[in-house]
Structure 1
């Protein structure tokens, strides 16, 4: 096996690209132009503030990252490593004014917001012709992630105090079966719409003090398992249609608040199932929940 290549790349390209998402010109910060011999890209993205957008493009170029200010090109760092047929990219995106921002400051800014937070704007374009593992980390600000037309084998999203929205706006399912969908919320908020389009076998969620809202979508095709732990935050779940068998197991405490959907019956200790599950327990979507001081609410479509 060839020796792994590891280097830090600081790109200074000043190409201008108009962004319809933010209505301004963006500058190229990083690009991968070659995908020959690469079966998968493991992409880790970390942003500290501002607004971030991620979506698919019909391009052979596997990865392009744009930023709002040409003066901030050198503030971000990009590490790449190729092992076998996998290309690893670690992108830490920040502008000069937020280079030293940490988690404690991000939580404070979540309560006492400053006007300069929105000045960081990031646009991440992923080729719909390439397979990805995504690890997305947002310290503060906003993030809009549209996974339509993408091939995501594994997904991890972490919000410190950011507001993150994950969608499939075009209504197109993940082109491969996703191994694991992992989401973690500290003080932020994450909203997942049409989770069914991810085709995820395992969904894992950790909620600290923030809020996680999941809409399972209208057409569930996988026998999936959702494992979630909720500390002092909130988990909201819009369930799949009534004809999808659903089993819910809850390990709770006296300090938590649980709101169960109307058509669920108690079938065991802290165990609930809908009528579809009672009729067909072998083909089901299963929720395994552990909650401390937080709240969990299930809602029918």
Structure 2
């Protein structure tokens, strides 16, 4: 009898403990005609965001797990002039305070994110993607997704852009732009982006940029960190590469011996040719911290 009473009390207490309730929101666009380009504008806060290709004929699918029901997302889309314009806004006014976001970043773990989003895109459409993450983390797998422009902005986030399979961008990307006030941006297989311009700017944090497989077309790159580190991995020195360093006395640099110095700021590989259509031109800009080139 005593054991049964203890078990009953335990169940009552356990049932009364607060739990982190979540609810699910799903959005999708079923239209498949009358447009060639999909423009997605996605705004969220304190979230884990994941994007990847899904096997579907539909252009867009969004699945969210949210912990607060008092701040509901607003999803809308329209089709005009052969363009599907889709917008999701999930915004917390309080989280717009930059100082609060940075403080939260310093004293929280990655498991503290209140929301998670899974975004599925198809292979049969051309995409322009614009993300405003507020604070959080993001994993973008662009494999088999034709992307012509890709922009990410955040007050405080860790961002990974990658190609999980051997499937580079099928179209020329005009610009890949990531701007963070605080956090880390990692671009794996950057050559797979097929981008004409790559701009990565982090006020405080880290940039990891990997071009290890070489470029099939020319690309201009800016990787700038106010305080932190830039790590760059290059392909073989037979590729045409030009690197310009913008540093201060408070930035240390580590460069491979195969790079040839043209002046105190400029380095090239033995395969460098200013007229080569595959030319990879990089500007590495660090105020306080380090630059490592491999």
Tell me if both proteins adopt one fold, taking TM over 0.5 as the criterion.
yes
Distance 2:31 2:70 in 1: 21
My pick for the range that moved more, 245-254 or 144-153, is 245-254
Match of 2:206 among 208, 211, 214: 211
Please give the residue correspondences for 1:1-301 in structure 2 after superposition, counting only pairs within 5 Å.
Answer: 27-69=24-66, 72=69, 75-93=72-90, 100-102=94-96, 103-113=98-108, 117-277=112-272, 280-283=273-276, 284-299=279-294
Could you tell me how far apart the structure 2 residues matched to 1:39 and 1:156 are?
A: 20
Shift of 1:44: 1.5
Taking structure 2 as the reference length, the TM-score comes to: 0.83
After TM superposition, the score normalised by the length of structure 1 is 0.82
Q: Residue 57 of structure 2 aligns to a residue in which SS?
A: coil
Instruction: Name the SS for the 2:34 alignment partner.
Output: coil
Kindly provide the CA deviation profile for residues 95-118 of structure 1, in whole angstroms up to 9, marking residues without a partner as x.
xxx563223222111111168723
Contact 2:184 2:202 in 1 (8 A): no
3-state SS of paired residue (1:105): helix
What SS is found at the alignment partner of 2:102? helix
From the superposition, tell whether residues 210 and 159 of structure 1 become closer, same or farther in structure 2 (CA, over 3 Å). farther
User: Which residue of 1 is the match for residue 15 of structure 2?
Assistant: none
Question: Partners of 2:202 and 2:114 in 1: how far apart?
Answer: 28
Q: Equivalents in 1 of 2:154, 2:110: separation in Å?
A: 20
Secondary structure, aligned partner of 2:156: coil
Give 3-state SS (helix, strand or coil) of 1:162's partner: strand
Between stretches 131-140 and 290-299, larger displacement belongs to 290-299
Q: CA RMSD in A?
A: 2.3
Matches of 1:248 and 1:114 in 2, distance apart? 36
Following the alignment from structure 1 to structure 2, what is the Cα–Cα distance between the partners of residues 70 and 289?
40
Match of residue 6 from structure 2: none
1:69 positional shift: 4.2
Unaligned ranges ≥5, structure 1: 1-24
